[in-house]
Amino acid sequence: MFQKFYPDLYVSSTYEIDFDRLYRSGYRGLIFDIDNTLVTHGAPANDQAKQLFAHLHEIGFATCLISNNQEPRVKPFADAVHSLYIYDAHKPSTKNYEKAMEQMHTEKGNTVFIGDQMFTDVFGANRTGIPSIMVKKSTGRRNPDCLKRRLEAIVLIGYRRYRKTHKSILE
C-alpha cells in the first residue's frame, strides 16, 4: 500500500553512500535534494559537501540539485559545489526530475536520486521511475514539517519489514 513511498535504500547519511560502487554499477547521474540531505536546513555548502561533489565529478558523475526552495537559496549552494540545479521544483512532481536528467544527459536507468523526505523526494523519484536513496534528516535546526516526519516514521516501519524480503537494485 505504501510502497510508492519506499526508497530503494535508506541510510544514515549521504556521506556514507558508496558512490564509487554506484558508478561501477553503471549509474552516471545523481540528483540531490539540499536541505537535511547534504547540510542541515538552511546551511550553506560546507567543506564536506564541496569535497563530496569534487569526488563525484572526478569519478565521472553528472550532478543536479533539485529543491523546492527558491533560487536565492539554491544557486549559491549549487555554485559552491559546481552542480547543475533546479529551484522551485514542486516535488513530488516528475517534471523537474526529468528536467534534471535532461540537463545531465542521463536517463532513468542510470540516474539515482538522494533526498531526506519520503512524501516529496522519494515519492517524486519513484513516480519518475528512478531509484532513490533516502537519508535520515540531518540534525540541526528544527524543520517545520513535524507532522510529515511523524507520518514518515510510521511508513518507515512498513518499509523496514518490506526490505527484509525484497532487495533493492541499489543493494
Mean pLDDT of 26-53: 97
C-alpha pair distances (Å), 53 with each of 5, 38, 83, 100, 157: 27, 10, 8, 16, 32
pTM for the structure as a whole: 0.86
pLDDT, residue 1, reads: 61
57 vs 119, residue with greater confidence: 57
**What are 108's three cell numbers?**
532513468
Contact between 124 and 91 (Cβ < 8 Å): yes
Contact between 13 and 135 (Cβ < 8 Å): yes
d(CA 73, CA 43): 9
* pLDDT tens for each residue of 15-33: 999 999 999 999 999 999 9
Mean pLDDT of 76-99: 97
d(CA 155, CA 158): 5
* Range with lowest mean pLDDT among 68-77, 113-122, 129-138: 129-138
